[in-house]
Chain A
């Protein structure tokens, strides 16, 4: 059984924490029986080399982000023991400094959060409603409509960018201006377009994945509630949502990280100012204009990496499942 279907990957069990959770239910018994592994000392060395190669670049950046600017400029990070020096000044500079030459990432960090949280919630709610309708409300055309939604996953989001930007310019701009007039706190260039864009791009995959899960809920449960006189709204809130929570959680984590890590959608819909642009966009700008300011770039990169890394190490089980399920998104 080689079930590598991204939509429902075999990643069972809540066993173990702090490591990638893989289908290993039979591992314990197997290790006992097949003592002789497939590998040799050479294989172990090769594995170690790969592991080091894969970790070293990130490690180098992390070490550098804590070194004084002068040291970073003149010596390699691997000489940290001969050229010691530890400082938090780089982080202070990129996050808190208000001088105009500083990247002022505090603001952009806030933007990344402000974009990612609603852009995770909105598509999840709309998609679980649609998935419920496809799975449990009988209507004509249900199956071809679902196939259409499924097929939309193959449309690269590049296909939608130009017209969508034009459409937003005509329809959304007046709304944004009005919002700014009513509540002056809210800048004219606000999060609205980028929320909507992310919601739209998330829907096909979200509907498909949640439908897979919601349609597996035993029919008797739903029917029993119906017999008791529950409406669709009640069934949806009382039965479907609680039961579908694991699937929703996996997708939520995937979508949150996808939005957090996204650059393309942000570049086109955020407007690029401090008002709405996320960290990734700011970092890209910095590599263009200050490509040699390594004391800033290293610390700035880690500011943007910290959230994904926390999610990765903290919620690994959901994370792997969600990530594999959504690996073709975009």
Chain B
């Protein structure tokens, strides 16, 4: 990076923020002095219009356009449902959908289960906050960073050389042969799933832990006086008490899982039969020059996410009414 580059970048950032602040400031200053007649409307416009226009041009219109694009071929010809037929019949595309199903089954269940177990195990223990921070930390870092961290764990060196990847080192230590983890299908998809579980467990753990602490102590005490053991108390008091939180955690992680892109991109770039819908959408639309197929996959992704989001919102609203 040369000094000129650096200056150029600083000018861009400072200039960009200054122009933005000046425009917003000026608009708000001017509407303050707008003529009395129609002032209310002008003020409303100044506050609301920028955000709404951006949303209209950058989200609503593109979403509609993507939906129509899904019915056109690469050359711009109307081809009806052909792109969707492709997505649901071609072996490669079916593989993508199948992988996505595996992801969305395994990640929410396993990360919620592990997060819940961990939250229960460390509840009220000494150093609870510290233990939480350890597991929550992966939530803070990028999926790209997480991908590299795990690529290192899965690293492969040919037999006879010393393994520097933790997983192969363990395999070799027990007398096995080193495995090319990321190139071996279908094992590689499972190993990629491990990475997202590693990230999402912290989220599940924090939300569920907060929920566990909300269970009235009296209930637990009463159950204890009735002579129940720890497992029975967990099954019959804790679990029903945190049910709404469980639903929210599972649905939220499901949505995140359906949209997973970075992990696949960093670890295999979708090769070796590991691609998922969000990754394939990128590959088709921006690498393979098939915007129609990419758009169709985006629509499929939207349709997959939609019911989960609606369910999630409904649960949240019910909870709010209860409170």
Interface residues of A (CB under 8 A from B): 1-7, 9-11, 16, 18-24, 26-27, 29-31, 33-34, 36-40, 43-44, 46-47, 50-51, 54-58, 60-61, 64, 72-78, 104, 106-107, 110-111, 113-114, 117-118, 121-122, 125-127, 129-130, 132-134, 137, 139, 145, 149, 152-156, 158-164, 167, 183, 185-187, 190-192, 195-197, 199-201, 203-204, 207, 231-234, 236-237, 257, 260-264, 267-268, 274-275, 280, 283-284, 287-288, 291, 294, 297-298, 300-301, 304-305, 308-309, 311-313, 316, 319-320, 323-324, 327-328, 330
Contact = CB atoms under 8 A, between A and B. Distances in A.
Interface string B287-323: 0000100110111011001100110100010011001
28 contacts: A2-B242, A2-B243, A4-B210, A23-B213, A30-B213, A37-B124, A39-B120, A46-B117, A51-B135, A54-B135, A74-B161, A106-B1, A107-B1, A110-B6, A129-B46, A129-B51, A130-B51, A156-B278, A159-B63, A162-B65, A163-B65, A186-B11, A200-B58, A204-B55, A284-B262, A284-B266, A305-B145, A309-B140
A324 B58 contact: no
A5 B320 contact: yes
A328 B9 contact: no
A320 B150 CA distance: 24
Contacts of A164: 58, 62
B186 to A, nearest CB: 21
Interface centre among B16, B269, B281 (most CB of A within 10 A): B16
B230 A162 contact: no
Is chain A's binding surface mostly helix, strand, loop or mixed? helix
A261 B141 contact: yes
B45 to A, nearest CB: 9
Contact of A261 (B20, B143, B206, B207): B143
Interface string B115-151: 0011011111100011111111111111111011111
Contacts of B117: 46, 50
Contacts of A61: 148-149, 152
Given A26-B217, A54-B202, 20 more contacts: A2-B241, A34-B220, A39-B125, A39-B230, A46-B117, A47-B125, A58-B138, A78-B169, A107-B5, A118-B13, A154-B306, A154-B310, A195-B16, A232-B32, A233-B29, A283-B144, A288-B269, A300-B148, A308-B140, A327-B203
A58 B125 contact: no
Nearest to A64: B152
Contacts of A162: 62, 65-66, 69, 285, 291, 294-295, 298
A317 to B, nearest CB: 12
A218 to B, nearest CB: 20
B301 A158 contact: yes
Given A75-B164, A76-B162, A133-B44, A20 B319 contact: no
Given A163-B66, A305-B145, A38 B58 contact: no
A104 B285 CA distance: 29
Contacts of A106: 1
A281 B213 CA distance: 40
Interface of B: 1, 4-9, 11-13, 16-17, 20, 24, 28-29, 31-32, 40, 43-44, 46-48, 50-52, 54-55, 57-63, 65-67, 69, 114, 117-118, 120-125, 129-145, 147-153, 155, 161-166, 169, 198, 201-203, 206-207, 209-211, 213-215, 217, 220-221, 224, 230, 233-234, 238, 241-245, 248-249, 252, 255-256, 259, 261-262, 265-267, 269, 278, 281-282, 285-286, 291, 294-295, 297-299, 301-302, 305-306, 309-310, 312, 316, 319-320, 323
A53 B306 CA distance: 34
A125 B28 CA distance: 12
Contacts of B31: 232-233
B213 A27 contact: yes
Contacts of A160: 58-59, 62-63, 66
B129 A20 contact: yes
A230 to B, nearest CB: 10
Nearest to A107: B1
Nearest to B247: A4
A328 to B, nearest CB: 5
Contacts of A57: 149-150, 152-153, 166, 198
B194 to A, nearest CB: 10
A283 B266 contact: yes
Contacts of A75: 162, 164
Contact of A287 (B142, B151, B213, B217): B151
A158 B259 contact: yes
B144 A284 contact: yes
Contacts of B169: 76, 78
Contacts of B66: 159-163
A167 B48 contact: no
Contacts of A78: 166, 169
Given A40-B230, A159-B66, A162-B294, A183 B11 contact: yes
B144 A304 contact: yes
A207 B63 contact: no
B192 to A, nearest CB: 13
Nearest to A77: B164
Contact of B32 (A2, A127, A233): A233
B144 A33 contact: no
Interface centre among A47, A104, A187, A197 (most CB of B within 10 A): A47
Contacts of A309: 137, 140-141
A54 B43 contact: no
A263 B143 contact: yes
A49 to B, nearest CB: 10
